Amino acid sequence: MHPRITALLHESLGLSVWSMKKTVLITGCSTGFGLASAKHFAAQGWNVIATMRTPSPEQELVALPGVLVTRLDVQDRTSIDSALKVGVERFGGLDAVVNNAGFGLHGLFESTPREKILEQFEVNVFGVMDVIRAALPYFVQRGEGAIVNVSSGAGVFTLPMISLYCASKFALEGFSEALSYELTSQNVRVKLVEPGGVVDTHFVSRSAEEQSQNAVPPRYEAFVRATNEVFAKLRNDRAGATSEEVAKVIYEAATDTSDRLRYVATEGIKPLVKMRRETSEDAYLAFMRERFLAKPSPGQ
């Protein structure tokens, strides 16, 4: 039934519209997949607790019915608790959480300060754990729930110059898979969404900014130049996927009551994901070394 008709029916029966609809909390809604997901869930008739680090009255989500924009910084546990509290007070419960907030700490491992690595894990891994820990009591209250963790192709295969981002998304993948066994017993579904190469978000500019902050030792210069050429080619090969497409996959994962764990969200990364998952270790590594390892041209 169309969400609007359901709402009218509930209104005529004197039921609260908000409490009859499903409710999702999404992190990182200021831009990119989070923003697109908030709009998509709302369009499907869900209540949305659209969270972000710095809410502003101009944010386009503020005007959408059934959407509550509120502050949540995944590095600040008090803000996680209070976003859940105000959201549940407003909408009457919680059915799903989308852990989308994240960023890519790109650059050479050797050039990256330890504090930046801690920040990468705080946002991409520990923040997710803190949101889940805070959301679980609300799922227990409901008797069910769904958790969608936004991972990455970089949580399936690795590339040079993004080792720390890969490390964070591999950690997220391992955590989510193991957690899914535990939480199935509590009627809570855990899902992993794996996108890659979507350029209509702020991801690329943030990663470039992170990378630009660390000096490259001269002995890496030829390697970095050649690797950047490989990445530029990769980006051209993969152009096309949009945040809206990823938001639809996030929604599909949140509403899929099957025990499926992983959803590859963009076509461009499917060949590499298949290679990683369906070939032998030796064949896979030989393929990656041949295709992705930078080969400085002669004389460099």
Contacts of 144 (CB under 8 A, 6+ apart): 95, 187, 188
By beta-carbon proximity to ligand NAP, the closer residue of 33 and 139 is 33
By beta-carbon proximity to ligand NAP, the closer residue of 83 and 94 is 83
The catalytic residue among 138, 165, 251, 263 is 165
Cβ 194 to ligand NAP shortest distance, Å: 7
Identify whether the C-beta of residue 191 lies closer than 8 Å to the C-beta of residue 260.
Answer: yes
CA angle, residues 152, 253, 246, in degrees to nearest 5 = 50
Active site residue 151: yes
Cβ 19 to ligand NAP shortest distance, Å: 27
Active site residue 207: no
Cβ-closest position to ligand NAP: 32
The catalytic residue among 169, 176, 191, 207 is 169
The Cα–Cα gap between 137 and 188 comes to 11
Contacts of 4 (CB under 8 A, 6+ apart): 45
By beta-carbon proximity to ligand NAP, the closer residue of 7 and 246 is 246
Provide the binding-site residues for ligand NAP, judged by CB under 6 A: 27-28, 30-34, 52-54, 73-75, 100-104, 123, 150, 152, 195-198, 201-203, 206
Q: Cα-flanking dihedrals φ and ψ of residue 48, to 5°?
A: -125, 125
Cβ 280 to ligand NAP shortest distance, Å: 26
By beta-carbon proximity to ligand NAP, the closer residue of 122 and 144 is 122
Cβ 5 to ligand NAP shortest distance, Å: 32
Active site residue 165: yes
Q: Cα-flanking dihedrals φ and ψ of residue 254, to 5°?
A: -65, -30
Nearest of 272, 270, 271, 264 to residue 245 by alpha carbon: 264
The catalytic residue among 21, 30, 39, 151 is 151
Q: How many residues does the chain have?
A: 300
Token pair, residue 180, equals 């899914």
The catalytic residues are 151, 165, 169
